Structures are given as structure tokens and as C-alpha cells.
Amino acid sequence: MTSSTAMPNLPGASAAHRPIAANTARAPRRLRGVLSLDDFETLARRHLPRPVYGYISAVAETGASFQDNRSAYADYGFRPSVMVDVSQRSTATTLYGETYAAPFGFSPLGLTALSSYRGDVVLAQAARAAAVPMIMSGSSLIPLEAVAEQHPGAWFQAYLPGDRGALEALIERVSRSAFKTLVVTVDTPVPPNSENTARMGFSAPLRPSASLAWQGLTHPRWLIGTFLRTLLRHGMPHFENNYATRGAPILSPSVLRDFSERGHLNWDDLRGIRRQWRGRLIVKGILRADDARVARDCGADGIIVSNHGGRQLDGAIAPLHALPEVVRACPEIPVMIDGGIRRGTDVLKALALGARMAFVGRPFGYAAAVGGLPAVQHGIRLLTQEISRDMAMLGVTAIDQLNAATHLARRRPAA
């Protein structure tokens, strides 16, 4: 993957030094009013049945962590340099020897194929075309092999089964696919509180009911364009990738999803994965420097600082607040971040604090739901345009020029 595969913005300009045109003229007509990533959520809330929207938007308990993920970015202000020639700036960045067109990618999104037709494939196609990284969720409804076929350079995120044999079988299955990067999520020892998804009518699997049927009938674009289209062409969706074998269907009156107790998993299990997995190994869900060091010593090739988008432990600190100490603890390996990123300014703040890549989740899930591939591509353009424009106003021409000492000031005292 190279920056030359990025979607063009201005004809005749090289991909590495192309200014980003600040317009939405290339977007499909119904997306012309989408001017930022947040606008996709407004459309998705109307487009999706309440339970499906509720799953994507769900947060743990009071939503404190989710809110903190966003507000953390307001803790930092910029210190721009002026009168700098920024006409040849580039949003390209290099990670693990790959050159990406922009310093952001797609976080893993569970059940994407329930909210959008072939959602995981759509995200894979968009990421490959735009030369940005993508992490496929293990909690997905399309077999990982089908997604890897669309985008072999994507990463696969695994939720570890609690049973050692099942864990090894899953890793073996992934190793037989085209995926070369495995992301192990470590912040889910038990399922989260389902209070808020239950309030929205969501369960896994979904239970047939009059209320669920009414939600489908009152959202005909989703019903026909996503759910019925999937049934006709691919059959009932199942949880495909939590284990080495197929899991429960997404819609059932009696079948239970095969959740596995993970409370006994420990660092020895990660060491075992490192011995079995020959590709790149990344650990996601770290919020402490000491955990980051242990993950590195167990053989991790990278860390993603994350609190699971505020979906797990309510009150867990924002990843942006944890990022600097994790970067200091593990200077030898790339440290990345997800959680609360919605704007180009958010991406630049994370990069200045030491992140090598910023991952964005829900907004691209909403985009896929309301407009499929064209909408996801539009979202990529919007965020890339923001990053390029903000770089110009900050006075930097390359991603690796960003650093906290030069470009950031703390607006609020550290807690």
C-alpha cells in the first residue's frame, strides 16, 4: 500500500504533496449536507431501526468514559507557527514500513453487516482504495476470509476465547487467511453492562417480536436495502469470527450467543499467542504504562491505547490522557490510539502527543449504514481535508513534524 493509491483531490498533483480541496462536490447528492463526521450520526439515527442504532451508539452505564473521550481533546490548545510555506504539505504517514495516505484508520466495528449491507466488505474496500488502515472486528457477521480477500492489508481484531483449545484454533484460522496483522483486544474480561442496549431493544441475538418487526417496517430503506437483501443473497447472518467455527445467528427466538468467559485470561495467554502467531501482533485496550511494558515484553509489536469507545468500564480514563505515559513507557514500538476522535484537530493532537496512528470507529459505521461505499469514501475525504487544512494553519508540512512541546499547550491542569 502506498500513498499513490490515495483518492485524488486535485488533478495533476502528486499523492504525497497534493493540497486537499475543501469541497463536497464529489459526494452523492444525498450526502451533500454531510460536512463533518458527526453529520453521519444524525442521518444514521433516522435510517436505522432503534435497536441497531442503539448497538452502535451504546455506551457503558452513565456514559462518563464516552463523554470524557471527546472532552479530553479540549484539554489541549494549539500553538501555531505562522508565515510558513505549507503549499507542499502531505498527510501521508509511514507505519510498519507501509505508507498510508492519512494518519487515521478504521477502528474495529462489531455487527457492521447488520447496519449496512456487507458492511465489513464496504469498509475494507474503502480503506484499500484510500490507503488508510482498517481493523476488522472479530464480532462480525461476514467470515474473516471474505474480508481478507477484499483487503489483505487490513488487520484482524480478535476477542480471545476463554478456552485454550478454542483460542489456539481461532489463531490458527486467522493465520491461514491473508491477514498478517493480529490485534488482540484485552479490555473485555467479562461482557459489559447491557443496560443501555437493552433500553434500545437490542440483544445478541435479536429476538423476534412485534416491536422489532415494527422497527423494520418503519425503516424500509434499511429493511429492504440491508436486512432482506442480505437474507436473499447470503442467508441469515451469523457471528462468524469469535471462534474458529461459526457462531449463533443474529436473529433467533431461542439460540444464545456463545459468549466465552475470559476472566481467567492473563499475560501467559498473550505469550502463547506470540509463540503461535508469526505475523505482526498488536495489543488493544491498554490505559497504563505498566501494562504497556508487559505487553511489549510479551512480544507485542504495537499498542493501541483505548477504553473500547466508552463501551466497557464506565469511568475509565480517556485514551488521550493515558497516551503520553504509554508512549514514554514503550518508545521502541508504535503506540496508537482510538476513542472520541471526530475531527482533524483531534487527530493532530493525538499525533503531537506521540500516537503513530489514530483510529476512528462509530462515524464510519454510521457512514456505511446511510450510504455504503460512497458515504465512507466521503467521510475519508472530509477527515483528510480537515487534517490537511489544520496542518496548514498549524504551520506544519509533514506528520512527523508534530510534537507536544512545539505545537500544544495544556488548557486545563492535569488531573
Is residue 137 annotated as involved in ligand binding?
yes
Instruction: Catalytic residue, from 238, 308, 321, 407: name it.
Output: 308
3-class SS letters over 154-210? CEEEEECCCCHHHHHHHHHHHHHCCCCEEEEECCCCCCCCCHHHHHCCCCCCECCCH
Is residue 349 annotated as involved in ligand binding?
no
Is residue 308 annotated as involved in ligand binding?
yes
Is residue 341 annotated as involved in ligand binding?
yes
Is residue 97 annotated as involved in ligand binding?
no
Is residue 62 annotated as involved in ligand binding?
no
Report yes or no: 339 and 309 within 8 Å, Cβ to Cβ: yes
- Give Cβ neighbours of residue 251 (< 8 Å, ≥ 6 apart): 205, 206, 208, 236, 237
From the list 261, 319, 336, 273, the residue with the least C-alpha distance to 299 is 273
Retrieve residue 245's grid coordinates: 467455527
Q: Are strands 93-95 and 98-100 parallel, antiparallel or unpaired?
A: antiparallel
From the list 187, 129, 116, the residue with the least C-alpha distance to 7 is 129
Report yes or no: 62 and 314 within 8 Å, Cβ to Cβ: yes
Is residue 284 annotated as involved in ligand binding?
yes
Is residue 109 annotated as involved in ligand binding?
yes
Is residue 362 annotated as involved in ligand binding?
yes
Is residue 108 annotated as involved in ligand binding?
yes
Cβ atoms within 10 Å of 326's Cβ, excluding its own = 27
Is residue 285 annotated as involved in ligand binding?
no
Retrieve residue 315's grid coordinates: 469511568
Retrieve residue 241's grid coordinates: 469470527
Is residue 339 annotated as involved in ligand binding?
yes
Is residue 281 annotated as involved in ligand binding?
no
From the list 396, 301, 284, the residue with the least C-alpha distance to 338 is 284
Query: Which single residue is written with the C-alpha cell 508487559?
Result: 294
Is residue 46 annotated as involved in ligand binding?
no
Residue 238 is among the residues annotated as catalytic for this protein = no
Per the annotation, binding residues are 55, 108-110, 137, 157, 159, 185, 284, 306, 308, 311, 338-342, 361-362
**Residues carrying an active site annotation:** 308
Per the annotation, binding residues for FMN are 108-110, 137, 157, 185, 284, 306, 338-342, 361-362
Per the annotation, binding residues for glyoxylate are 55, 159, 308, 311
